[in-house]
Amino acid sequence: MSIKLVSWNVNGIRAVSKKEDFWSWFEDDDSDIINFQEVRATQEQIPKKLAEIDGFHKFYNEAEKKGYSGVGTYSKIKPLSVTKGLGVEELDNEGRVLKIEYPDFILFNIYFPNSGKEGSRLDFKVQFCNELLSQLVELKDEGKNLVITGDYNIAHNPIDVYNPKNCEGKSGYLPEERAWLDELEEAGFVDTFRMFDEGEGNFTWWSYRFKARERNSGWRLDYFFVNEEIKDNVISAKILADIYGSDHCPVTLELDF
Q: In sequence order, what are the residues at sequence separation of 6 or more whose Cβ sits closer than 8 angstroms to the Cβ of residue 142?
A: none
How distant is the alpha carbon of residue 195 from its chain centre?
Answer: 18
Beta-carbon contacts of residue 168 (< 8 Å; ≥ 6 apart)? none
Determine whether 29 is an active site residue: no
- Residue 100 burial by Cβ neighbours in a 10 Å radius (0-12, 13-18, 19+): buried
The CA distance from 196 to 254, in Å, is: 12
d(CA 116, CA 114): 5
Inter-CA distances, 5 with 58, 75, 175, 201, 218, Å: 14, 9, 30, 23, 23
Report how far Cα 181 is from the mean position of its chain's Cα atoms: 14
CA 239 to CA 200: how far, in whole Å?
A: 13
Selecting among 151, 160, 191, 222, the annotated active-site residue is 151
Q: Which residues are catalytic?
A: 151
